[in-house]
Amino acid sequence: MSGRHPVAVIIGMMGAGKTRVGREVAQMLRLPFLDADIEIEREVGMSIPDYFAQYGEPAFRRVESELIARTLSDFDGIFALGGGAPMTPAVQDALAGYMDEGGRVIYLQADPKEAMERANRGGGRPMLDGGDANARWMRLYEQRDPVFTALANVHVRTHGSTPQMAARKVMNMIEERVVHVDVAGGDDYNVRIGEGAMNHLAGVLGPGAHRIALIHTQPVQRHSDRARALLRQAGYEVSDIVIPDAEAGKTVTVANGIWERLGREGFTRSDAVVGVGGGAATDLAGFIAATWMRGVHYVNCPTSLLAMVDASTGGKTGINTTGGKNLAGSFYTPAGVLADTTTLASLPNDIFIEGLGEVAKSGFISDPEILRILREHAAELRAFDGASLLGSPLEDVVDELIERTVRVKARHVSADLKEAGLREFLNYGHTMGHAIEKIEHFRWRHGNAVAVGMVYAAELASILGIIDDDLVVEHRTLLDSLGLPTSWNGGSYEDVLALMHRDKKARGNRLRFVVLDAIGHPIHLDDPPADAVEEAFRRIAG
């Protein structure tokens, strides 16, 4: 945003704790804080109840709207609005303009009973005057809640939270990174990256769904427990569906079992799916969402680095068949992706490292800054320890790598949802990588196989004179420094060649590869000479 604008604007019902939480957030972030009601009283020289009594609500709303418009264009802290302010059309327009420039309007969603008690204790609320205050509060809530929900671009539930706990939730959401995926021919969505991103779950799903199929694997139980709690707090009925871990969960047998269960439990087109876990779990969750009732809402909550930067984003869903990986699937965009980086704290070192394979790929095909960050922090990344990640300097590095990698994917997906052209470049290293995975019966992890696949593609390009040997060395050196493999000898050339011919990029009987002719500039390589294809295989066999 250009000029001075609030870091965040907090809205909510009377008694939601906007002032108290807003002050806490401002203190945590070392930012100034303004409360619209206090500023109005200072400006008019009297209390709000007195102003209401003397001039009436319409006059008050005009003063309020003008003050909010001025503050939105000349204040760079945390700004809390009065309970009724967002109901005024002029304020709604001002907030929409603020959000268009990247601003965050945070709806502080308090428990109605807690908010009513605080509102009654506080007094001085003219909108509650005249009769049963609780009944008036509830009538206002019924009017305002749908408007606030639709207006805000951040929703924070504070049920049972202390002001400090609520403030930390708000702070995490303010500090998170957001990548907007603008899909040509599909629905747009956001990828939210940061601590606490999963708190957006109910807000992304919206009020339309009644039942949620929560699809996850056993190893991510603590994260699925959190998702389930958030969903139930928001009033959804949750069906807990545990699938086998990794690629074993991506089969037609598993999918069929889920379809049968959804049928028994009466899932309709208005219900939704949430996938929690690694790339295989989010692939399957998306596939179920795409195929049930010809398509229902779904949200991905990736818990591994690989899933955050690759599988959960882009709208490619699928399952494996005996013929190969992801051969049955659909292009179907999620309602949102919530990459909650607190989940990385439970990630084993080897699972984190494999995710760096996809990160490096995005650097090679599109963003050289990713490669610089990886080189500069290779030792720390290779020594990754989830227990010490949160709050460490490495957390900011990882967050930036995730954001940059997702932006690379978003650029390719936005222009080419269904992999007709540009999006194919995201498959750099995948033709060989998928063959390795299939031959190894998926014992090799995807990011590791892609790392070897990138070295193979670089060797092939070098053999054909498309790049020089220095770029091959750069591939090998960087990937090795991160702890990723750069060679493989687990199968015969004949078996690899047969699988590469089945690759989704293949055209008829002609092989088709993605290679680089320079860093950041991928190209298609169609039907390369057979001897070059075999020589490149020999070079990665080690």
Question: What residue numbers does the annotated binding site for Zn(2+) cover?
Answer: 358, 430, 446
What is the rounded CA–CA span in Å between residue 354 and residue 485? 9
Binding site residue list for NAD(+): 245-250, 279-283, 303-304, 316, 325
- Longest pairwise C-alpha distance within the chain: 90
Residue from 479, 488, 384, 372 nearest 432 by CA: 488
Binding site residue list for ATP: 15-20, 125
Binding site residue list: 15-20, 37, 61, 83, 125, 144, 245-250, 279-283, 303-304, 316, 325, 358, 430, 446
Binding site residue list for substrate: 37, 61, 83, 144
Contact yes or no for 436/492 (Cβ under 8 A): no
β-partners of residue 317 are 330
Contact yes or no for 109/157 (Cβ under 8 A): yes
Q: Which residues have a Cβ under 8 Å from the Cβ of 190 and sit 6 or more positions away?
A: 178, 179, 180, 181, 336, 337
Binding site residue list for Mg(2+): 19
Q: Which residues have a Cβ under 8 Å from the Cβ of 402 and sit 6 or more positions away?
A: 177, 193, 305, 308, 309, 339, 341, 359
β-partners of residue 518 are 521
Q: For the chain, what is the radius of gyration of the CA atoms?
A: 26
Question: Helices (DSSP H) in 176-300: which residue ranges?
Answer: 201-205, 221-233, 252-264, 279-291
For residue 510, the tally of other CB atoms under 10 A from its CB is: 11
